[in-house]
Amino acid sequence: MKVRLENLAKQFGKILAVNNLNLTVRKNELLAVIGPSGCGKTTLLRLIAGLEAPDRGTIYLENKILFSKEKGIFVPPYRRKVGMVFQNYTLWPHMDIFHNIAYPLKIKRAKRNTVKREVERALSLVRLNHITKRYPHEISGGEQQRVALARALVMNPEILLLDEPLSNLDAKLREEMRFEIKRIQKETKLTVIYVTHDQNEAMAIADRIAVMRDGSLIQVDTPRKIYNYPKTEFVARFIGRTNLISCQVKEIGGKKVIELDGVVIKIDGIGDIPAGKRMFSIRPEDIKLTRKGEGGVGEIKSIIYLGNIVNYKLSIGSTDLEVQTTPAEVFEVGERVYLNICHATPVDQCP
């Protein structure tokens, strides 16, 4: 365990920005926090960094208490060993790169050779040793991003908090920087909490993903678990594309099936779901289509051919389904095809 949050809460007027939140982030773990705008992601990071005082709860770093309302403890930000890159970070325009990164050390009155050594260490972590004398306007957006990262790393933090650190970059650079952050995390064995809007980014680099909504954590799991076993409708919808359908679970001849608008569809991998009406999340790629077969029949309503994948809209009675297949076999609009569902997850409707 590295960071532990217990019953953490922060209210702004009537808004519960962080609502009784419990979370443990492990040593050397990269936890991505995702959720809609205004759900409390930045507030959560600011509470951990000590830039904001919680109304309730406790924050631990290992076994040390950083904040406790009950015990009246508040460790100030500069003594927390927490580095942060803000959502709208700014570099000092009148300082060269070296001095931008050295700034936090200078404030702490570090010795001259310590400053030099630590700045060089931070610069080599982000692979920017060659541009120390340039000014922020003389380097690219991606390089500026690295400087901001180096400035957070220069104090040797144990926890790195990143608030949408790549949102100013174009798609290609973002992808490059994602892997840089992952590399730095591995090299430094840092614990990283990484806030992002971008679900692909979260899937690509996180050890675990925390999905947040209205100040609460809805699900915290590995990317695979979040994708394959979303617990709620909200999580299923928020990560990836999915079909959310309400249907009857039945057992026919010892096998589980679902009934959708009177059509019986064979389904694998739903485990011990009791018979009855349930809401399911079914990913488009988990529906297999065949011309010959058994089970439920649907009609192809539309097709989008993308080369490596083919997307269909299908209807079964009054229910529409999205299906994604490989182009091995391409079906035509109007064709009637058999459906097999190889994976479905029951989801709670709220939240």
What number of chain residues touch ligand ATP (CB under 6 A)? 12
Of the pair 42, 144, the CB lying nearest Mg ion is at 42
Of the pair 33, 159, the CB lying nearest ligand ATP is at 33
What are the phi and psi torsion angles at 183 (to 5°)? -65, -45
* Binding residue (CB under 6 A) for ligand ATP from 1, 22, 27, 38: 38
Positive or negative CA dihedral for 78, 82, 83, 84? negative
Of the pair 163, 286, the CB lying nearest ligand ATP is at 163
Q: What is the residue-wise DSSP string for 303-345?
A: EEE-SS-EEEEEEETTEEEEEEE-TTS-PPTT-EEEEEE---E
- Under rule CB under 6 A, residue 252 binds ligand ATP: no
Contact mark string toward ligand ATP, 65..104, x via CB under 6 A: ----------------------x-----------------
How far apart CA 53 and CA 239 sit, in angstroms, is 31
- Under rule CB under 5 A, residue 58 binds Mg ion: no
**Residue list 266-305, contact with ligand ATP (CB under 6 A):** none
Of the pair 167, 188, the CB lying nearest Mg ion is at 167
* Binding residue (CB under 6 A) for ligand ATP from 12, 78, 92, 305: 12
How far apart CA 111 and CA 150 sit, in angstroms, is 19
Note the helical H segments in the chain: 41-49, 97-107, 112-125, 141-153, 171-188, 199-205, 223-228, 233-238
SS3 190: coil
C-alpha R_g of the chain = 25
Q: Which of the stretches 34-42, 120-128, 146-154, 262-270 binds ligand ATP when contact is defined by CB under 6 A?
A: 34-42
Which of ligand ATP, Mg ion, none has residue 330 at its interface (CB below 5 to 8 Å by kind)? none
- The pair of structure tokens assigned to 206 is 């996180």
Of the pair 119, 195, the CB lying nearest ligand ATP is at 195
Which of ligand ATP, Mg ion, none has residue 37 at its interface (CB below 5 to 8 Å by kind)? ligand ATP
* Binding residue (CB under 6 A) for ligand ATP from 14, 37, 93, 130: 37
How far apart CA 152 and CA 36 sit, in angstroms, is 26
SS3 293: coil
* Binding residue (CB under 6 A) for ligand ATP from 3, 5, 8, 17: 17
**In angstroms, what is the minimal distance from the CB of 31 to ligand ATP?**
15
72 phi-psi bin (left φ>0, alpha ψ -120 to 50, beta other): left
**Residue list 30-49, contact with Mg ion (CB under 5 A):** 42
Residue written as token pair 């009609």: 299
How far apart CA 347 and CA 308 sit, in angstroms, is 30
**Residue list 39-68, contact with ligand ATP (CB under 6 A):** 39-43
- Under rule CB under 6 A, residue 19 binds ligand ATP: no
Residue nearest to Mg ion (CB): 42
Q: Characterize 173-194 residue by residue with b for buried, 16 or more Cβ atoms within 10 angstroms of its Cβ, and e for exposed.
A: bbeebbebbbebbeebebbbbb
- Under rule CB under 6 A, residue 351 binds ligand ATP: no
**Site residues (CB under 6 A) for ligand ATP?**
12, 15, 17, 35, 37-43, 87
**Site residues (CB under 5 A) for Mg ion?**
42
